[in-house]
Amino acid sequence: MSTKEVEKTHIEGPRWEIVRRFKTYTEANNHRNGLLIETDLIQVKIHMMGPSSKQYFAVKARLDPSKQQEVPKKKKKSKRRRR
What is the pTM assigned to this prediction? Answer: 0.66
Q: What is the model's pLDDT at position 29? A: 96
pLDDT category of residue 4 using cuts at 50, 70 and 90: low
Q: Which pLDDT tens digit goes with each residue over 25-63?
A: 999 999 999 999 988 888 999 999 999 899 999 999 998
> Residue 54 forms beta bridges with which residues?
none
pLDDT category of residue 73 using cuts at 50, 70 and 90: low
Q: What is the model's pLDDT at position 54? A: 92
Residues whose CB falls within 8 Å of the CB of residue 59, separated by 6 or more in sequence, listed in order: 18, 19, 20, 21, 22, 28, 31, 32, 35, 44, 45, 46
Q: What is the model's pLDDT at position 71? A: 56
